[in-house]
Amino acid sequence: MIAPFYKFGYFNSEVGLIVAFVIGIFFGFFLERGGFGSGRLLAAQFYFYDMRVFKVMFTAIVTAAVGLYYLAWIGFLDLNLVYYGETYIYADALGGLILGMGFVIGGYCPGTSGVAISTGRIDAIFYALGGFLGIFVFGELYPSMQSFLNSGYLGKISIPQYFHLNYGFVILVVILIAIGGFTLVEWVEKKLAGKYEEVE
- Model pTM? 0.77
CA angle 72, 73, 76 (to 5 degrees): 45
Closest by CA position to 61, among listed 160, 155, 164, 170: 170
CB-side neighbour CA atoms (13 Å) of 163: 7
62 pLDDT above the threshold of 60: yes
Residue 143 has a pLDDT of: 92
Residue 199 has a pLDDT of: 46
How many whole angstroms separate alpha carbon 185 and alpha carbon 132?
34
Average pLDDT of span 6-27: 84
Measured between its terminal Cα atoms, the distance across the chain in Å is: 47
Residue type at 94 in one-letter notation: L
Q: Is 21 or 3 the better-scoring residue by pLDDT?
A: 21
pLDDT in tens, 105-154: 888 988 899 999 988 899 999 999 999 999 999 999 999 999 999 989 99
pLDDT in tens, 151-166: 899 998 888 889 999 9
pLDDT in tens, 78-89: 888 888 889 999
